[in-house]
């Protein structure tokens, strides 16, 4: 006799006709909440709400662990969670298979199960690495992002692009694997250096430029407050930029379409990072220069007005972000940048996509930008009226 509580499934799945195609279906609808706060207790409550079981493993880096882990761990325990902390060395070097492997080893040797929460607590490096580990461990365990850099809060924590680097290329080993939630506490940003704030801001300026005149105006009007790390201003900035990124990725969450406005500034930006060896130039700084170059190309083509161009350059300038090659902390080999772009063009069957700004909130995407145009925009660029 089958006990009442047993879950009985009676089924009669029909066999397919001989010549009917068989289709594998795995439709999935991922929705996750994004919370922005300045309060550690609220951060812990939100993270605890995301946990299916009262147990979480925080993955962080040594710098963030020393600065911010203790109050978060205490607050999470206050919410009834059992919490473990695993820390990796800070810096891009930790975004590696080797470090991911040490995390997987720790998980495998612990009693963490497939319903236990991983909390990625750190900048983009921790978020990308912990997210990738979460995607792989037991074919995927839930993870939540608690970003601690402005770059991670406005960008890396959203969208579920998880990866580690390979010596051949950055982000080469990765997946799309969505978090169960994002909780951005701007209070954690108060210990960031001015340079890190500026670099994160570049990605927010980008979102204003491609999709939101209102966000762009907000940054213009509140720049001093942002750079001074005033929490109410940072909270609004992260809220606005997160909402815009979420809206943009919802249109194409798995990047099937190559026409991605979010790549504004990244074509040249990535080439700058590659040729300078990922280190001396921060990602946000490279993107700032890339945006200035794209705007310069657009201006030279007559696709944008000098007024729009000046508005972008002036904002980058006020934000202390590089908008000409001479402003980078290292010399830039322009020929190497062009060579790096040529290589991408080669890999992509001759096409290299550029996002060119037309107005604040309007961009055009095109494949026909020539090496000469890039070179001229990189070389001829005159710093903004040094205002």
Ligand X SMILES: NC(=O)c1ccc[n+]([C@@H]2O[C@H](COP(=O)([O-])OP(=O)(O)OC[C@H]3O[C@@H](n4cnc5c(N)ncnc54)[C@H](O)[C@@H]3O)[C@@H](O)[C@H]2O)c1
Residues that bind ligand X (CB under 6 A): 61, 63-64, 67, 90-92, 95, 122-126, 128, 148-149, 151-152, 155-156, 159, 161, 171, 188-189, 191-192, 196, 283
CA distance 333 to 336: 5
Q: Which is nearer to ligand X, 153 or 384 (CB)?
A: 153
> Smallest distance from the beta carbon of 203 to ligand X, in angstroms?
7
* Cα separation, 281 vs 218, whole angstroms: 26
266 is catalytic: yes
Active site residue 106: no
Q: Nearest distance from residue 54's CB to ligand X, in Å?
A: 26
Minimum distance from residue 309 beta carbon to ligand X (Å)? 25
Distance CA 42, CA 7 (A): 39
The CB density around residue 69, as the number of other CB atoms within 10 Å, is 18
Q: Is 203 a catalytic residue?
A: yes
Please state whether 363 falls in left (phi above 0), alpha (psi between -120 and 50) or beta.
beta
Concerning whether 317 is annotated as a catalytic residue, the answer is no
For residues 206 and 196, give the distance between their C-alpha atoms in angstroms, rounded to a whole number.
Answer: 16
Nearest residue to ligand X, using CB? 124
Q: Find out whether 98 and 37 touch, Cβ atoms under 8 Å.
A: no
Identify which of residues 188 and 240 has a Cβ nearer to ligand X in the complex.
188
Residues linked to residue 55 through DSSP beta bridges, in sequence order: 82
Nearer of residues 77 and 93 to ligand X, judged by Cβ: 93
Interatomic CA distance for residues 291 and 322, integer angstroms = 10
Active site residue 229: no
Does residue 222 carry a catalytic annotation? no
Of 100 and 156, nearer to ligand X (C-beta) is: 156
Q: Which residue has the tokens 């990922």?
A: 278
- Give yes or no: 245 in active site: yes
Question: Who's near 385: CB < 8 A, 6+ residues apart?
Answer: 310, 314
Q: How far is the CB of 91 from ligand X (least distance, A)?
A: 5
Q: Which one of 170, 270, 323, 381 is the catalytic residue?
A: 270
Tell me which of 68, 198, 283, 381 is the catalytic residue. 283
Active site residues: 139, 161, 203, 245, 255, 259, 263, 266, 270, 283
């Amino acid at each position: 006799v089958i006990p009442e509580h047993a879950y009985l499934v009676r089924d009669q799945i029909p066999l397919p006709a001989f010549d009917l195609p068989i289709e594998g279906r795995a439709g999935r609808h991922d929705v996750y909440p994004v919370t922005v706060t300045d309060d550690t207790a609220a951060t812990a409550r939100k993270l605890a709400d995301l946990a299916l079981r009262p147990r979480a493993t925080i993955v962080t880096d040594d710098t963030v662990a020393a600065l911010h882990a203790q109050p978060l761990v205490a607050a999470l325990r206050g919410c009834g969670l059992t919490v473990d902390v695993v820390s990796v060395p800070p810096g891009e070097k930790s975004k590696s298979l080797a470090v991911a492997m040490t995390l997987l080893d720790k998980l495998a040797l612990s009693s963490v199960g497939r319903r236990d929460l991983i909390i990625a607590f750190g900048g983009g490096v921790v978020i990308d690495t912990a997210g990738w580990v979460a995607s792989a461990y037991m074919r995927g365990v839930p993870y939540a992002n608690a970003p601690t850099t402005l770059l991670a809060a406005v960008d890396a924590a959203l969208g579920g692009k998880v990866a580690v680097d390979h010596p051949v290329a950055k982000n080469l080993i990765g997946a799309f694997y969505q978090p169960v939630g994002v909780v951005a506490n701007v209070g954690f940003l108060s210990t960031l250096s001015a340079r890190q704030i500026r670099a994160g801001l570049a990605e927010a300026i980008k979102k204003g430029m491609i999709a939101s005149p209102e966000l762009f105006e907000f940054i213009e009007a509140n720049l001093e407050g942002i750079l001074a790390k005033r929490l109410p201003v940072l909270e609004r900035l992260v809220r606005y930029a997160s909402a815009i990124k979420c809206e943009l990725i919802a249109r194409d969450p798995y990047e099937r379409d190559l026409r991605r406005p979010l790549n504004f500034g990244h074509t040249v930006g990535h080439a700058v990072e590659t040729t300078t060896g990922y280190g001396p130039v921060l990602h946000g700084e490279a993107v700032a220069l890339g945006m200035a170059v794209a705007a310069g190309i657009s201006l030279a083509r007559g696709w944008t007005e000098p007024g729009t161009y000046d508005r972008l350059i002036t904002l980058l300038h006020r934000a202390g972000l590089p908008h000409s090659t001479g402003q980078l902390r290292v010399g830039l080999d322009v020929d190497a940048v062009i060579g790096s772009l040529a290589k991408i063009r080669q890999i992509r069957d001759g096409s290299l996509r550029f996002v060119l700004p037309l107005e604040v909130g309007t961009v055009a995407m095109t494949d026909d930008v020539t090496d000469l145009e890039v070179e001229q925009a990189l070389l001829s660029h005159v710093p903004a009226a040094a205002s």
